[in-house]
Structure 1
Amino acid sequence: MSRFRNPPIVEAWIAFDFNPKPDKVSWEVDAHRFRKASMEEFPQAQFLFTSEMEVEERRDGSVPEVKNHQTKLDLVRMRSENNKHVLQLGDDRMAFNLLEGGKDYPGFANLLDETLRHLETYRSIYEPSGTEPVAFWFSII
């Protein structure tokens, strides 16, 4: 088994949880604005939803009836053209990931600079009242 003095980093990311502004209505309302502001740099996007429904059993034992069905946007995951940069947006959350860095990992300073740039976009759109402790993770081989 080979040993690395500086093992190659496979993924590194910085994530924020925000305190919403007092008059927040719904994060989904501004998700489109955030997506539009980031689209040139992150042309690929996935939209992840949850689905909730109320089901009522029928007295005659037949198939239950769906009374209320709602879908909710949980996460927008945007990727760069080369799939090595990922910007994720959720309800009062944002994360920036560098993937498949290996020996090409640009370093923490670069990760931080890019994250702070996206944080400014988030702040200008969502106007959070503050942040919770910031998280930094990395995965190595």
Structure 2
Amino acid sequence: MSKEYKNPPVVEAWIDFRFEYGEEAPIWNEKIAVDFVKSFEQFKQEEHRARVKKEIKLSKQGLVISEADPVLERLKTFNKTKDRCLQIEQNLLVYNMLRKKESGWPGFSVLLSEALPFCRLFISKFHPIKLRTVLHYRDHVLIPFTNNEIEPSDYFKIYPEVPNDFGSMRDYSLSLVLPDICNNGVALLSTKTARVPIEKSQLKFVFIIDWDVRSEISFESDDLGACEAWLKHAHEGINKAFNECLTDRCRSLFE
């Protein structure tokens, strides 16, 4: 997550732009979504997610199920190297940056500089009046282990505890709502544990950490500068909180 680490644990980060329209939302269908995506040379591989509305009526002959034509819900497209992803809905644009094993993490400034132009083009095409935004980070902290036991407090300052009568805790999933990470935003910290296979039938213990910071205010669509400034502030808040929840032993894994 932070550029101060030689090998930060971040595997993916993305920004949501959630749009608000006036009295009428724009016309939205598959052709419009595809044409919008095709205007970007780097995004060609498309995945479509459609919603189908079914109507069920009771008649003398029994249940009659009528099915309307599919309605496009989301269009998702990757670049050729599969390290960038663009997703659009009628009122949503998501820009993902995924880490490739053979390369380092580009950093937040790259994510933001790449995401904002897509947001501007969406606004110019569909004319929302306002927007909100969400900044997401996903980290995988991999820890080798041999005795099938890990002490969470060795690595993190935030972890659940159980009464001694419960015995040991094999895994956990924990979510916290944190309203003070940044101004005009609420953060959701979710962390859970898992075990992943590596070479020679060995396992690695992994802490999966998700940060989601949502703006609690709307930004004018014709002034993305305020939205950009908030995202930078949210990133600073996440970065500081992330470092504060780690122990020195955990930080050493990223050097």
TMscore range, shorter length: 0.7 to 0.9
8 Å Cα contact 2:26/2:126 also seen in 1: no
Structure 2 residue 59 is matched with structure 1 residue 49: no
Between the aligned partners of 2:21 and 2:15, the Cα distance in structure 1 is 19
Q: Which runs of 5+ in 1 are unaligned?
A: none
8 Å Cα contact 2:13/2:136 also seen in 1: yes
Residue 124 of structure 1: how far off its partner (Å):
1.6
Q: Which residue of 1 aligns with 2:131?
A: 131
Between the aligned partners of 2:139 and 2:98, the Cα distance in structure 1 is 11
Secondary structure class of the residue paired with 1:122: helix
Between the aligned partners of 1:84 and 1:137, the Cα distance in structure 2 is 16
Q: Which residue of 2 aligns with 1:109?
A: 109
Residue 36 of structure 1: how far off its partner (Å):
2.1
Provide the aligned length of Structure 1 versus Structure 2: 134
Q: Which residue of 2 aligns with 1:33?
A: 35
Give a deviation string over 1:23-78, Cα, whole Å, max 9, x none.
4342326323312212x2111011100111112233244xx322352421110001
8 Å Cα contact 1:11/1:101 also seen in 2: no
Q: Which residue of 2 aligns with 1:84?
A: 83
More deviation, 109-118/25-34: 25-34
- Identity, % of aligned pairs? 25
Larger gyration radius, structure 1 or structure 2: 2
Matched AA of 2:122: Y
Q: TM-score, normalised by structure 1?
A: 0.83
More deviation, 29-38/41-50: 29-38
Greater relative CO, 1 or 2 (CA 8 Å, sep 6+): 1
8 Å Cα contact 1:13/1:137 also seen in 2: yes
Are the structure 2 counterparts of residues 79 and 21 from structure 1 closer, same or farther at C-alpha, using a change threshold of 3 Å? farther
Secondary structure class of the residue paired with 1:137: strand
Secondary structure class of the residue paired with 2:82: coil
Q: TM-score, normalised by structure 2?
A: 0.48
Between the aligned partners of 2:78 and 2:12, the Cα distance in structure 1 is 14
Moved over 4 A (4+): none
8 Å Cα contact 1:41/1:80 also seen in 2: yes
